[in-house]
Amino acid sequence: MSETPCRRIQVDLNGQTALVTGASRGIGKAIALALGQAGAKVACIARNEEKLRETADAISAGGGTAAIYMCDVTDSAAVQKVVDSVVEDWGQLDIVVNNAGITRDTLIPRMSDEEWDDVISTNLRSVFLFTRAATQVMMRKRSGRIINISSVSGIMGNPGQANYSASKAGIIGLTKTVARELAGRKVTVNAICPGFIATEMTDAMGQVVQDEVKKRVPAKRLGEAHEIADAVLYLASDSAAYLTGHILTVDGGLTA
């Protein structure tokens, strides 16, 4: 697993404020680092204060600006409070990356109510909550970027992940609908569907399973977190101003 070592894509986000959920590790951390390196002030959101602090410190060490905000992303009041705090602290909110996600894998006959509800709440409800809160700010200033991290599992399904796949498919539907609602206010809403990316989540699968996964991917390798961060940078940039409601797969050809 690697973090973004340098700016791989040249995007200027100076003067902008970004919010990233699930910024404490993996893809979310790579996204937060990339946004910070591109010049954005980054609000790092998660529940693990120690890990969040590591992300913020890494952004600061690279010359960027970051702050941490502890939040249960499934709690409506807590989410609204965080968004209000970011706007109060930095005066604006330009980019929201809804990345927070968990898995509770098991086959559907054995899946408990709690395993279903936990994944749907963290992965899908959180996107709704942050999107609703952020659009109140973005619509007033008639600009903004909302970038949702879905998954190829939301497109093609994955055995043992009925809850996860449903949550990620829901993100796709939510993205397309909100994009239509907000396009007239110059707020773009897009989603990225990563394939198998080298993170702590894929490390937990073990080497044997990873080797089997690589055989299924036409590129014959796992993706890197910084490759998802690169896609986020593009969607956050001025170059993507006419791109909305798009579902971008970054999967080494898995869904081709």
Successive 10-residue mean pLDDT values, the chain, 256 residues:
57 97 97 98 96 97 97 98 98 98 96 98 98 97 98 96 98 98 98 92 75 91 96 97 98 95
Distance of CA 131 to the CA centre of its chain: 12
Return all residues near 84 (Cβ < 8 A) that are at least 6 apart: 133
pLDDT at position 204 is 67
- The superfamily (CATH) of domain 17-249 is NAD(P)-binding Rossmann-like Domain (3.40.50.720)
pLDDT at position 6 is 52
pLDDT at position 2 is 45
CA-to-CA separations, 130 to 6, 48, 73, 183, in angstroms, rounded: 29, 18, 8, 18
Q: Which residue is catalytic, options 69, 164, 234, 242?
A: 164
Distance of CA 114 to the CA centre of its chain: 23
Enter the tokens of residue 117.
């509800």
Q: 191: which strand partners?
A: 148, 247
36's enclosing H/E stretch is helix 26-37
Enter the tokens of residue 123.
């992965």
Domain map of the chain by residue range?
17-249
Task: Give the angle subtended at the CA of 72 by the CAs of 67 and 73, to the nearest 5°.
Answer: 85
Q: Are 20 and 42 in contact (CB under 8 A)?
A: yes
pLDDT at position 139 is 97
Answer yes or no: 164 catalytic.
yes
3-state secondary structure of 28: helix
pLDDT at position 4 is 47
